[in-house]
Amino acid sequence: MEEEQPVKKKKQDTKLESEGAEFLVLGHLLIEGVSAYKAYINFPGYDLTAVNTKTKKVARIQVKSRWATDYDTSFPLKSLDCDFVVHVALNRGYRFGKKNNIKDNGIQAPTFYVFPVDIIKKARKDVGWKKVQIKKVPNFKTYIDNWTLIKKYLEKK
């Protein structure tokens, strides 16, 4: 009699959602009055560029996203070659919890965390997946929708 192998959970393809997160961040920057564009060619370390034409200052922004509403509030971050990391919790539904006891589908509005890269450097593990655990960032809630950090950075000469 053959022994049954445990069923491996198939890795979810979230490529479209990742691209969508970049466009969401781009849209937020634009409606905040920040001139920005998407780096369409592979720029290692960042996905978006924000510019201030008056000060000639440029901010390189890396966008990291997570699909699930019930994720562990961490994300892998290999490259620190940017000025800001914007983490988007897409909140598209439950994937990890026990779904039997949940009364809703978990879909909520996305949450945006705008982190200066120096803050992320301190919170990132230097081993393995090089994960950043958001809850280990001091006062992490102050970074939610804090687009002012990018605006102020661009105002400096």
What is the pLDDT of the chain when averaged over all its residues?
88
What fold is seen in the domain 15-155?
A: Trna Endonuclease; Chain: A, domain 1 (3.40.1350)
pLDDT exceeds cutoff 90 at 28: yes
Residues 82 and 96: their CA atoms lie apart, in Å, by 30
pLDDT band at 48 (very low <50, low <70, confident <90, very high): very high
Q: What is the pLDDT of residue 8?
A: 53
Whole-number pLDDT of residue 1: 53
Q: Above pLDDT 90, what percent of the chain?
A: 59
Mode of pairing for the β-strands spanning 84-89 and 57-66:
parallel
* Domain edges within the chain: 15-155
Residue 150, pLDDT above cutoff 90: yes
Model confidence over 87-146: pLDDT tens digits? Answer: 999 988 887 765 656 667 778 899 999 999 999 999 998 888 899 999 999 999 999 999
Instruction: Count CB atoms within 10 A of the CB of residue 3.
Output: 4
